[in-house]
Structure 1
């Protein structure tokens, strides 16, 4: 064991954080689709049912909590900056 060698350098911590966040987001999306998406059928009995017209279940999946929370908000990330540059000076 040498004096100054480190196996993990501090410069790679942001890279680990970014990759960890991306893996977490991908895992969340995959789990949500596998468990809640009405179009994904894992059981053999569900797959044998064929095409189902379950519009109510599909609408429930589409209108999730985050979408309901931002439903009535303007679709701007920086609304103040957009207003500042889009409205003419008086």
Structure 2
């Protein structure tokens, strides 16, 4: 239960602090459309996503190789 609560708090904190679409200051709230495409791209393309893009889409590569190798 504490792990799930921690994950919820982490996600909410991340969205409030880092999401470019969330506006807390009054100065940013006054503009209807923000010109922040670069900031949004940085938020969407974070380091973990860039790392996983180079990895093969396998959950257990060794198990996949074991069952897919041709046997004599």
Deviation at 1:20, TM superposition (A): 1.1
Distance 2:37 2:2 in 1: 35
Deviation at 1:58, TM superposition (A): 0.5
Distance 1:55 1:44 in 2: 20
Rg comparison, structure with higher value = 1
Q: Any unmatched runs of 5+ in structure 1?
A: 1-18
Counterpart in the other structure of 2:62: 80
Q: Deviations over 1:13-69 (max 9, x none)?
A: xxxxxx111111111111111001001111222111111131110010011122223
- Spell out structure 1 runs of 4+ moving beyond 3 A: none
Distance 2:4 2:57 in 1: 24
Counterpart in the other structure of 1:53: 35
Q: Secondary structure at the match of 2:22?
A: coil
For this pair of structures, how many residues does the alignment match?
71
With the length of structure 1 as denominator, give the TM-score of the two structures. 0.66
Distance 2:22 2:11 in 1: 13
Q: Any unmatched runs of 5+ in structure 2?
A: none
With the length of structure 2 as denominator, give the TM-score of the two structures. 0.80
